[in-house]
């Protein structure tokens, strides 16, 4: 496993415990249009080059995708949970 994957998987482990979620599968791969995604079947996909971004941004993207395991949309509950766990989340953009 290369360093980018290690960095991301380690951070996913931290956030999965913190958010009390368990992804069915975590994929770390090349992504060109998004930093991450979460399928309804519980598969979380993250961009490998997320590992080269600031820690704050990594936390934002990983928390965002993992929270989708609990809340599938971007509604009020989702935003409230983001604010609880990543207070400054609004300064980041999930799309690249
Ligand atoms: Zn989302």
**pLDDT tens-digit series, residues 21-48:** 999 999 999 999 999 999 999 999 999 9
Give the whole-angstrom CA distance, residue 69 versus residue 37. 11
Say if domain 3-86 classifies as CATH 3.50.50.60. Answer: no
Contact yes or no for 49/96 (Cβ under 8 A): no
- Cα(30) to centroid(ligand 1), Å: 18
CA distance 78 to 87: 13
In the chain, % of residues over pLDDT 70: 99
Run of H or E residues at 46: strand 43-47
Taking the centre of ligand 1 as the mean of its atom positions, its distance from the CA of residue 73, in whole angstroms, is 7
For ligand 1, the distance from its centroid to the CA atom of residue 1, given in whole angstroms, is 27
- pLDDT at residue 59 greater than cutoff 70: yes
Domain parsing of the chain, residue ranges: 3-86
Mean pLDDT, the chain, integer: 96
Question: 4 C-alpha vs ligand 1 centroid, how far in Å?
Answer: 22
Model confidence, pTM: 0.95
Say if residue 9's pLDDT is above 90: yes
pLDDT at 96 (0 to 100): 86
């Amino acid at each position: 496993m290369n360093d980018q994957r290690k960095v991301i998987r380690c951070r996913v482990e931290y956030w999965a415990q913190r958010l009390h979620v368990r992804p069915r599968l975590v994929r770390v791969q090349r992504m060109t249009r998004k930093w991450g995604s979460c399928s309804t079947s519980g598969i979380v996909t993250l961009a490998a080059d997320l590992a080269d971004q600031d820690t704050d941004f990594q936390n934002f993207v990983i928390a965002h995708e993992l929270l989708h395991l609990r809340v599938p949309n971007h509604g009020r509950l989702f935003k409230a949970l983001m604010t609880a766990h990543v207070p400054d989340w609004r300064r980041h953009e999930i799309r690249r």
